[in-house]
Amino acid sequence: MNQELINLLKAALECSVFISPTDPGLSYDELLEVGKRAGYQAGEVGDAAVHCMTRTAGFNKIIPDHMTLSSWNFLFAEEPEYRNFDALDFIVSELNDRVKSDGMRNAQVDRSSAVQRALAIGIPRHDIEVAITYLTLADHLTEKNGVLRFAHNSGVHALPSQQRDSIGRGGPQRKPFRERAHPIVRDIIGRRTDGRAKFVEPLDAFAEELDKLGYGSFRLWWTQAVAELRRSDPHSSPLSVSVLAAALVEGALTFVVKHARNQNLAVFRSKDFDGNPRTWKIDDLVASAASGGESAILDAQTKNRAEILIRNRQRIHAGRMLSEFPTGVPDLRPEEARDAKVTAEQVIRCVLDWLLKYPPIS
């Protein structure tokens, strides 16, 4: 098992707490996305994710595992540091005051009120929310119905900054996996609400668009084709790779024709697309996608790449091969198959960018 990948995924779950404290954790698909964004293959990411799966009552997503959360009991200084110790100290001080006033068993503070008091003294809302969630997951605090208590009735607690200073004499602990995961997780969590596609990978992101375009029933077809393309080896199966890549290009362009015409855009205005989609040709789809002026989907460079992909894909048509290569078809090289994958991603990224410019009307 790839321990480095497991450590990265665990660090990603930790980062979710620092980035989204009121909704911590990652979905399984988001966890897979982290690994793929870090350069790992889908299969190995899925295998490693099994070792990071922890769900806790009260949380809707996968959160850091029990071993990780246990380590949070020891408040070492860290580098990079994503916790605000003024915020951590504030929450503990609030409960310490209640212990002194009301006794250990009765000490409690209302979370929302504590947040407002923190804001009043200049602690950012995000930082105080991180502090509360962090201390709760670390089993320093409990929260029920918005009420915070110390998890253990042990009297007045030492402030987190005091703990950090007393046990951190060797300098901050380096957290390279967190540092690597943090920008990836920030982007993935940001995509939940900012209108961008959930997945940064264009082939995955386009599956999310099919429902908006009215073709949600084709999502299984799309995801199966994407999965087969990723499994296909350019060295042993260059023709399969080229055919699947071309099928995805043809599919993505086919699925946006109706949307473009409904919006009266210049792209796909050709009469070639008046009839049944079964009569549409990939050559015409690519050519039309590059027309239409400002509403065009493909630029000249991407159109050229798509046309090369089409020529390679036509090897599945014996008649066309006889016509174009009467003396025999040249061998399809692995590098051409690898380029086919890149071309499919590039074309579909152009389609996604176009959909941002001309979004479907929900």
Specify the pLDDT at position 361.
73
Specify the pLDDT at position 338.
87
Q: Give the strands of the sheet with 141-144, arranged side by side.
A: 109-110, 147-150, 141-144
Which of 66, 58, 88, 57 minimizes the C-alpha distance to 13? 66
Specify the pLDDT at position 287.
94
Domain ranges of the chain: 3-66+176-190, 82-171, 202-357
> Is it the case that residue 118 has pLDDT exceeding 90?
yes
> Is it the case that residue 11 has pLDDT exceeding 90?
yes
Q: Please give the Cα distance from 310 to 317 (Å, whole number).
A: 11
Q: What CATH number should be reported for the domain whose range is 82-171?
A: 1.10.10
pLDDT classification of 111: cutoffs 50, 70, 90: very high
Q: pLDDT exceeding 70 applies to what percent of the chain?
A: 91
pLDDT classification of 255: cutoffs 50, 70, 90: very high
179-229 pLDDT, tens digit each? 999 999 998 898 877 766 666 678 888 998 999 999 999 999 998 899 889
44-57 pLDDT, tens digit each? 888 888 888 765 55
Q: How far is residue 158 CA from its own chain's centroid?
A: 38
Specify the pLDDT at position 333.
78
Task: Please compute the mean of the pLDDT values over residues 137-148 and round it to a whole number.
Answer: 92
Task: Please compute the mean of the pLDDT values over residues 78-101 and round it to a whole number.
Answer: 96
> Is it the case that residue 245 has pLDDT exceeding 60?
yes
Task: Please compute the mean of the pLDDT values over residues 162-174 and round it to a whole number.
Answer: 83
Which of 247, 271, 252 minimizes the C-alpha distance to 261? 271
> Is it the case that residue 135 has pLDDT exceeding 60?
yes
Specify the pLDDT at position 313.
81
> Is it the case that residue 329 has pLDDT exceeding 70?
no
Specify the pLDDT at position 277.
92
> Is it the case that residue 328 has pLDDT exceeding 70?
no
pLDDT classification of 58: cutoffs 50, 70, 90: low
> Is it the case that residue 330 has pLDDT exceeding 70?
no
pTM of this prediction?
Answer: 0.63
Specify the pLDDT at position 52.
82
Question: 27 or 130: which carries more pLDDT confidence?
Answer: 130
